[in-house]
Amino acid sequence: MKKNSKSYASRKNMRPATIPDMGRCRVVIESVKPEIDGGRFAAKRAVEEQMTVEADIFADGHDAVCALLLYRKEETRRWTETRMQPLVNDRWRGTFELNEPGSYFYTLQGWVDGFESWRQAFAKKVDAGQDVTLDLLSGAELVGLAANRASGEDRKLLTRFEVGFRSESSAAIELALDDELTALMKEYPDRRWATTYDKELRLSVERSKARFSTWYELFPRSCASSASKHGTFRDCENRLPYVAGMGFDVLYLPPIHPIGRSFRKGKNNSLVTDPADVGSPWAIGAKEGGHKAIHPELGSLEDFKRLVTKAKEFGLELALDIAFQCTPDHPYVKQHAEWFRKRADGSIQYAENPPKKYQDIYPLDFESERWEELWNELKSVMLFWCEQGVRIFRVDNPHTKPFPFWEWVITEVKEQYPDALFLAEAFTRPKVMYRLAKLGFSQSYTYFAWRNTKSELTQYFTELTQTDVADFFRANLWPNTPDILTEYLQFGGRSAFMTRLILAATLGANYGIYGPAFELGENLPREPGSEEYLNSEKYEIKDWDLDKPDSLKELIARVNRIRRENRALQNDRSLRFHAMDNPEIIAFSKRTEDRRNVLVVVVNLDPHHTQSGWADLSAEELGVDPQQPYQMHDLLTDARYLWHGTRNYVQLNPQSVPAQIFRVRHRMRREQDFDYFM
Amino acid sequence: MKKNSKSYASRKNMRPATIPDMGRCRVVIESVKPEIDGGRFAAKRAVEEQMTVEADIFADGHDAVCALLLYRKEETRRWTETRMQPLVNDRWRGTFELNEPGSYFYTLQGWVDGFESWRQAFAKKVDAGQDVTLDLLSGAELVGLAANRASGEDRKLLTRFEVGFRSESSAAIELALDDELTALMKEYPDRRWATTYDKELRLSVERSKARFSTWYELFPRSCASSASKHGTFRDCENRLPYVAGMGFDVLYLPPIHPIGRSFRKGKNNSLVTDPADVGSPWAIGAKEGGHKAIHPELGSLEDFKRLVTKAKEFGLELALDIAFQCTPDHPYVKQHAEWFRKRADGSIQYAENPPKKYQDIYPLDFESERWEELWNELKSVMLFWCEQGVRIFRVDNPHTKPFPFWEWVITEVKEQYPDALFLAEAFTRPKVMYRLAKLGFSQSYTYFAWRNTKSELTQYFTELTQTDVADFFRANLWPNTPDILTEYLQFGGRSAFMTRLILAATLGANYGIYGPAFELGENLPREPGSEEYLNSEKYEIKDWDLDKPDSLKELIARVNRIRRENRALQNDRSLRFHAMDNPEIIAFSKRTEDRRNVLVVVVNLDPHHTQSGWADLSAEELGVDPQQPYQMHDLLTDARYLWHGTRNYVQLNPQSVPAQIFRVRHRMRREQDFDYFM
């Protein structure tokens, strides 16, 4: 047979690993989930999450099968084993808790459970009153072999069982079906012919902020007391109580580097510039320095580090913008002209989207002959900011740089700073967004800003949370950004801002706003049909009136407190949409695994009219008894409603609050709960 | 950078192949279909089919991308390349024709198309009236490089274009946008940084009978002139015109080997046997021999070979039953007791399904210490019958033998007899059935016999034909077998037999019946609730009255002729179900790729009452103009119906024919078609 086995093994794409015992390894393991692109990429989780793995595990014939889920941290050799449970249709599931961030591997193992197969057949024969003398002897042999694998007390116990089997008393039958024996035999299985899944799949476990974070974006230069003054990091410190007071935990700053002067854009992205124009922070690089320098008007590196520390005191972690592009004034242009693409006349190629020209921006040429040097320099930029205490990077336009660069640089940075997080600002085609997520970005911007109707929201967030996408793509929802003022916000008034805030904060465990434009309801576009802000903060210093009476800051504070206090909102995996007979109202829920914390959110998507309707909720998903009343506690208004069964009425007035965030209170107090009862 | 690249490459599960040029290989290829279990198994096709491959292929940024589908036969080194076409959402599709059976590999390649990217930007600038002097020079460089890659006339032509680009005339612009140049540049792309998909996927192309076959199962021993005589292969020859006359092309015989005497079952599977009882053909092995011997009462090996030849003359290919199990009288029992499992007293373990005992059957122990010898012996059984001219094997209960055995033995047999086909008789759990198909079985029995209602049929056949299952699992539909007389057939009368025949023959490009029980409407079960035949042919010789007036032989002949004459029915991939407002009527269609042959089938599933309803057919799928009338030609009755639009009426009387098989005649004759017009 040797010869034949070899010819089989040498056949392309067949697994030689299965050959030596292939006649005896009867268990098959397939359709493992999660398994991203055949194991090419790691699945993503965060600490305090469970890792659940499912697979089809089965053997030929009708024998009983046992299956294990195995996992280990990358730096550990030893696998931890956990028993999998059969579901239906040969599907098995195993779970383990994630308490430490890091890189993990997981795989599976299955084998035919000889003793369990024997036990089931034996029990049927006993029930049918058949003679089982010989069967007892076969069973004794299996128990004896297990005893050899055991030691200590267990070995003694198993040996005692074996002896009992071989006795000719009728007690032997009872002994054979003893629960203790069944449990003990599971501990000492015969795994000689076990099948181990042929891949060790990767799992990337990040710290909990990868899963649950609340972002606030602001321009430090607008933090001074008036628009005529360029704000500094010191001014920014004064803004911290305001931001922290609304309950945010990430403070994201647009690029803080020297801003170029060549072709600098004026107010409203104008080509004509006034000498006083401050320019766009994304136009990086000037004689004062490039990506490792700080714009002098913001302050010094020391000021920046002080801001990082102060922010931390307020529970705010600083996120920096990584925008790998240069102005013509960037030091790289002179020092490393070879990192840029040349035009036919030898000049450096500026950015273009024909017929538009962006002469203030030189893209880096990732395909240049010197790409390795360029890549290393860019990595050193990220490491430099890590050294200054930054651990969150919001990456500008990652989709215009090669995929292999991101996979490499994220891996490299995480090797030195395992707690580094990366948010991909890739507003691009879906496959490209997903690829970037697979390559290692911790979080990603989404199409949320443009999903406004019930069907759009339902379809998109079902895809993000209920399909394989959820295993590698973590959404971060932004109702606005300095580049995106959607038509919904332009035309929907204050109610539209409330609606979009509540949707972002409850659909997404990660969300953010660009403020103070958002909470102050800034809604004027540069021109009709444009999604850019009029007098955009990207090109000028703004003087925000933070105390405007219609500011949404109190609502935001309340919503963010609800998020902090309800673990259900701190993950996206449990999101479920519920039927609602009014197409203008969307209803969904989130819950913890144990269903102790279940939230139901209903939102009026029509910013103009009061809408009402009947919600159909699944009692099972809410964890309520459909025969009993239960209380729905609206955490936004503190109102409490008595609901019964699965179909209940809601009414939402956009002029007050266009949504309700119900916490399900499973148990109503009843007469028995009072002292005077009985 | 060397050091870093290495640390990246050494990381587990990352593809070192991408490292050397990773900065420049910008194209990603993912989500390739078909790709069975990450490339572990071959996709299946048959000759005269197309192979269509789809994948997500994209790069960072906005550059144009080119993609190729590459394929080769296993024995050829050279890849044939075919250009892929973009669909939507970064999805690409490529196709090639399969004219030869064999083992193929296919893979994909994609690259950024520098010239096309340049051309698109250039055209926009020209449209905007911008100065393109420098752009022409960049273009000239790209054309010059392509000229270097070309030779002969093409090289000259490209050089001429390059020179034209560099001239300062306005004609240079026209030249740059010349269609001939665009086509020529596609022929000489810069593939230095092309991404090749990292798997060479396997494709198994079998002869056309794997895809389209019409099976008839009969017991040769019932082919004599009376039931008191044991039929022989010679008698069987006389039956050939009858079987061929109904239009079948595979004649499948139950096992033809010596039948054991120990514990032989009597009529109706009785434990009590009369010496005259002939036993079950599946009880293989007696003193006359085992799996390579012929039951003496059927004739000699010469007779068998003569039958194979005679059958071929009638267009019938013989299929043999492979049932790897033994009676206690099988020569293996004495010669190779080590191939069987022992009981505790040293006796050989008979088959059991506790509390049932099958003492007439000894299962082979595929896990024995001597499994390699056993496997080789079983392989030699198949090779032996191949040597006698058999190329189709119907494999009994493959799911009770280890999976690796089947993968090995099918591969081995096909290596010597590439035209061998294997039908898996695995009436077992879905995952097990699918796994056997992946391992190499050409065709598989299905749950068809138990799918009777419209929703059951629609759901099951959508899964089999419209999901990934279609890439590895070829259904063979049997309305009955010697073991399966469904309740639908027991209680539905003649009409039920017609319905199930037409469903099997039109839903499945591969189907079969067990006759003459089927065409003679045999419908009595052994007992109420049983699916076994009363006086089953498995245990006795039957005397069939082939000339019974209500025999379905003429209908069968007509249906099989329709199958032969309509290519649409010779594949399952094009199956689509259509809306029909009556739940008792099912409507579906099949078509050829070019839509020249489109069949619509409507079947009344209620064997008792006339049913009528309105069918909603998609005009696009039928290839008709919804604004014009078209003719529906019922190939069963030759009646012709004038239909219009997508919603049309049908009425089906189970007492005459419970179905219509329409061929769509796209074009109606009109006044212009007659001589006297004009």
Q: Do B89 and A125 touch (CB under 8 A)?
A: no
Of B4, B121, B429, Cβ closest to residue A352: B121
**Using alpha carbons only, what angle is made at residue A62 by residues A57 and A66, rounded to the nearest 5 degrees?**
40
Q: Does A40 reach chain B within 8 Å, measured CB to CB?
A: yes
Q: B349-368 pLDDT, tens per residue?
A: 999 999 899 999 999 999 88
> Are A142 and A116 within 8 A, CB to CB?
no
Active site (annotated) includes residue B396: yes
Measured distance CA(A466)–CA(A621) in Å, rounded: 15
For residue A199, which residues of chain B lie inside 8 Å, CB to CB? Answer: 13
Residue A363 has pLDDT above 60, yes or no: yes
Residue B14's pLDDT is 37
pLDDT digit string, tens, across residues A555-582:
999 999 999 999 999 999 999 999 999 9
Read off φ and ψ for residue B441, nearest 5 degrees: -60, 135
**Rounded percentage of chain A residues whose pLDDT exceeds 70:** 95
Mutation pick from B28, B41, B60, B126 vs chain A, by most beta carbons of A within 10 Å, is B60
pLDDT at residue A21 in the model: 61
* A37-84 residue pLDDT tens: 999 999 999 999 999 999 999 999 999 999 999 999 999 999 999 999
Section A20-36 average pLDDT: 87
Would you call A60 and B375 a contact, using CB atoms and an 8 Å cutoff? Answer: no
Chain B contact for A412 (CB, 8 A cutoff): yes
Q: Does the ipTM exceed 0.85?
A: yes
**pLDDT averaged over chain B?**
93
What is the average per-residue pLDDT within A531-541?
97
Q: Does B171 touch chain A (CB under 8 A)?
A: no
Contacts for B57 with CB less than 8 Å, ≥ 6 apart: B27, B28, B29, B65, B67, B84, B90, B92, B108, B110
Tokens at residue A15, please? 């697994």
B7 pLDDT more than 50: no
Report residue B100's pLDDT band, with 50, 70 and 90 as the boundaries.
very high
Q: CA dist A274 to A260, A267, A533, A537, B80, Å?
A: 14, 9, 20, 16, 61
Interface of B with A in 2-21 (CB under 8 A): 4-5, 7-8, 11-15, 18
pTM score: 0.93
Residues B13, A40: C-beta atoms closer than 8 Å: yes
What one-character DSSP code corresponds to residue B17?
G
Q: Per the structure block, which two tokens stand in for B606?
A: 């209620």
Cα A286-A292-A297 angle, rounded to 5 deg: 55
A23 lies within 8 A of chain B by CB: yes
Cβ of B408 within 8 Å of Cβ of A352? The answer is no
Three-class HEC string of B498-509: HHHHHHHHHHCC
- Written as one string, the DSSP assignment of A262-293 is TT---GGG-SS--TT----TTSB-BTTBSTTS
Chain segment B77-86, per-residue pLDDT in tens: 999 999 999 9
* B-chain residues near A24 (CB < 8 A): 367, 371, 402
pLDDT band at A622 (very low <50, low <70, confident <90, very high): confident
- Whether pLDDT at A1 is above 50: no
Residue B559 pLDDT level (bands cut at 50, 70, 90): very high
Distance CA A533, CA A526 (A): 5
Task: Identify the pLDDT of residue B225.
Answer: 83
Q: What is the pLDDT of residues B427-459, one digit of tens each?
A: 999 999 999 999 999 999 999 999 999 999 999
Q: Which residue of B has its CA nearest to A200?
A: B13
- Of residues A68 and A646, more confidently modeled: A68
Q: Are the Cβ atoms of B58 and A432 closer than 8 angstroms?
A: yes
Question: Which of B425, B519, B584, B634 does the annotation list as catalytic?
Answer: B425
User: Which pLDDT value is given to residue B622?
Assistant: 84
Which residue of chain A has the CA closest to B400? A61
Q: Which of B116, B162, B396, B522 is catalytic?
A: B396
Residue B467 distance to chain A (closest CA, Å): 15
Per-residue pLDDT tens for B486-509? 999 999 999 999 999 999 999 999
Q: What is the pLDDT of residues B511-520, one digit of tens each?
A: 999 999 999 9
Burial label for B187, CB within 10 Å (0-12, 13-18, 19+), is exposed
Q: Which 89-148 residues of chain B touch chain A by CB within 8 A?
A: 89-90, 105, 120-122, 124-125, 127-128, 130, 134-135, 137-138, 141
- The residues of A that are catalytic are 396, 425
**Number of A:B CB contacts under 8 A?**
194
Q: What is the helix (H) or strand (E) element at residue A191, kind and residue range?
A: none
Contact A124 B18 (CB under 8 A): no
The shortest C-alpha distance from A592 to chain B (Å) reads 32
pLDDT band at A668 (very low <50, low <70, confident <90, very high): low
Mutant choice from B162, B364, B403 vs A, greatest count of A C-beta within 10 A: B403
Instruction: Give the model confidence (pLDDT) of B21-35 as tens digits.
Output: 666 889 999 999 999
Of B12, B345, B354, the CB nearest to A125: B354
Q: Which helix (H) or strand (E) holds B16?
A: none
* pLDDT per residue as tens digits for the range B539-549: 999 999 999 99
pLDDT above 80: residue A463? yes
Q: Does residue B228 register a pLDDT over 70?
A: yes
pLDDT band at B41 (very low <50, low <70, confident <90, very high): very high
CB contact under 8 A, B137 and A344: yes
User: Over 70: is that where the pLDDT of B15 sits?
Assistant: no
Would you say B277 and B258 are in contact if contact means Cβ atoms under 8 Å apart?
no
Asked if A89's CB is within 8 angstroms of B23's CB, the reply is: no
Q: Answer whether residue B178 shows pLDDT above 60.
A: yes
A73 to chain B: which residues are within 8 Å by CB?
A: none
What's the rounded Cα separation, in Å, for the pair B105 and B103? Answer: 7
Residue A414 touches chain B, beta carbons under 8 Å:
no
Between positions 46 and 85 of B, the ones with CB within 8 A of A are: 56, 58, 60-62
B376 contacts on A by Cβ (under 8 Å)? 1, 4
Tell me the chain A residues in contact with residue B15 when contact means C-beta distances shorter than 8 Å.
40
pLDDT per position as a tens digit, A500-519: 999 999 999 999 999 999 99
Task: Convert the pLDDT of each residue in A256-291 to its tens digit.
Answer: 999 999 999 999 999 999 999 999 999 999 999 999
CB–CB contact A345 B134 (8 Å)? yes
Residue A7 reports pLDDT greater than 90: no
Q: Do residues B397 and B415 make contact, with C-beta atoms less than 8 angstroms apart?
A: no
For B352, the closest chain A residue by CA position comes to A121
CA separation for the pair B388, B438 (Å, rounded): 28
User: What pLDDT is attached to residue B59?
Assistant: 97
Which residue from B279, B296, B144, B187 is spatially nearest to B233, judged by alpha carbons? Answer: B296
- What pLDDT is attached to residue A669? 66
Residues 349-378 of A with CB under 8 A from B: 352-355, 366-367, 371-373, 375-376
Model confidence at B2: pLDDT above 80? no
Using the predicted structure, report yes or no on whether residue B3 has a pLDDT greater than 60.
no
Structure tokens at B514: 């067990």
Whether A669 and chain B come into contact, CB under 8 Å, resolves to no
Question: Within a 10 A sphere around the Cβ of B605, how many other Cβ atoms?
Answer: 25
Chain B residues within 8 A of A353 when measuring between CB atoms: 62
Instruction: Look up tokens 């005679």; give the residue.
Output: B310
Residue B672 in contact with partner chain A when CB distance is under 8 A: no
Looking at residue A677, its pLDDT comes to: 63
Residue-wise pLDDT tens digits, A179-202 = 999 999 999 999 999 999 999 999
Nearest CB partner across the interface for B12, out of A22, A200, A432:
A200
Q: What is the largest CA-CA distance in chain B?
A: 105
